[in-house]
Amino acid sequence: MPKPILVQPQSIRSYNRAFASHFAKSIFITVILLAVLVFIGTRMFTHLDLNLYGYMVGTLVFIGGFFYRFIAWAERPPTKNLIKKGIRLLFRKSTTKTATNHMVTHQFIWNRGIYRWAQHFLIGWGCILSCFVTFPLVFGWMYFTMEENGYYTVVGMGINLMKVKADGVLSFFFYNALNITAIMVIAGVSMALYRRLKNMQARAEQKFLYDFLPLYMLLLVSVTGLLLTVMNVFFHGKGQPVMSLIHQYSVIITLLYLPFGKLAHIPFRAVSVFAKNYREHYGSQSMKNCRVCGDPFVSTEQSNDVIQILNENDIQFKMQEGFHLAELCLPCRRKYRMSRFSGFNTHEAKVKEANQNAKG
């Protein structure tokens, strides 16, 4: 039976035709929203800090690159199916716990060891907190005004939020928020570099551009940011203009690189909650047994989704033995591929292979 054709209203079709792609439409809407928020937050552009102009341009390019990367990834049939079903399952009771484990405490790294968890936690939260501080300042959503009575007024989105004593505890954390996050990132990056240089398995698997370059870029941003404070406090601002430019360029280059390198998994991390909900929900309903060894390995829903998406893209993995390759667990799938090359029925062997990466 042919599927019914959905006809969009003329206004929606005209709106969609105004843009060359989903990417162009998303970027246009995002830039317009940012402009409105900047207009509101800076009280009609009266509190826009032009010293942060370079950071603003770099951030806008980063947002464009992020949307390009995300949309290109989200338009893939498997990802689109995961996001669609993940949104439906977003209000499960376990979503809060899953989101906390994946995005706050990084519990998913804990099983790989406390050392790797610590380095991941320091780098992840150091970068996230830096963004939470930097972006509101860059776009003028938050700034400070100084009064003659020794108090700062914290202004957020054009509204006076609170007054803090200039030499008080809160002011100290406001002044040094980026210094604290820089120390977190430096500590985490140093731990990661030490492990990757000393661990023989890690050394064999690492690539400079993909694995080491992001760490060096984060290290450069953090060190130059700390040097700005050192020059201001201990050297009375000597050399600060040059270091300010070096720091600004390092931040801008890192922002340009971020959507297209390994660091892109930081903003993409939220989608892991969808994947976890998908596996747990459909796994609790029905599990798919491997057609060779009989062990359950994925949910029936996931196995059917894989087969359906492959068929929609005209990718056939129907084997001559009568089963689909997606109906085999990973060990049996690998052994079956070996059998196709060797001519021996290795996939029928009942011996399970050892997992060499069991410890992460």
Dump pLDDT digits (tens) for 66-119.
888 888 888 888 888 888 888 888 888 888 888 888 888 888 888 888 998 999
Over residues 156-194, the pLDDT tens digits come to 888 888 888 888 888 888 888 999 999 999 999 999 999
Nearest Cα neighbor of 66 from 275, 276, 321, 259 is 259
Asked whether residue 136 is domain-assigned, the answer is yes
pTM of the model: 0.77
Show the domain range for 152: 10-272
pLDDT of amino acid 263: 82
Asked whether residue 320 is domain-assigned, the answer is yes
pLDDT of amino acid 352: 58
Give dist(CA 250, CA 54) in Å, integer.
11
Pick the last residue of a domain from 225, 248, 272.
Answer: 272
pLDDT of amino acid 123: 92
Is residue 100 domain-shared with residue 200, that is, in the same domain?
yes
Q: State yes or no: pLDDT of 247 exceeds 80.
A: yes
Is residue 293 domain-shared with residue 201, that is, in the same domain?
no
Is residue 219 domain-shared with residue 301, that is, in the same domain?
no
Q: Which residues pair with 99 in a beta bridge?
A: none
Is residue 97 domain-shared with residue 228, that is, in the same domain?
yes
pLDDT > 70 fraction of the chain, expressed in percent and rounded? 90
- What is the number of structural domains in the chain? 2
Q: State yes or no: pLDDT of 140 exceeds 60.
A: yes
- Give, for 182, the enclosing helix (H) or strand (E): helix 169-198
Is residue 315 domain-shared with residue 225, that is, in the same domain?
no
Sheet containing 142-146: order of strands:
142-146, 151-156, 159-165
Is residue 133 domain-shared with residue 164, that is, in the same domain?
yes
Q: State yes or no: pLDDT of 353 exceeds 70.
A: no
Q: What is the CATH number of the domain that holds 212?
A: 1.20.950
pLDDT of amino acid 220: 94
pLDDT of amino acid 183: 95
Is residue 241 domain-shared with residue 305, that is, in the same domain?
no
Per-chain mean pLDDT for the chain: 82
Q: Pick the more confident residue, 226 or 326.
A: 226
Q: State yes or no: pLDDT of 3 exceeds 60.
A: no
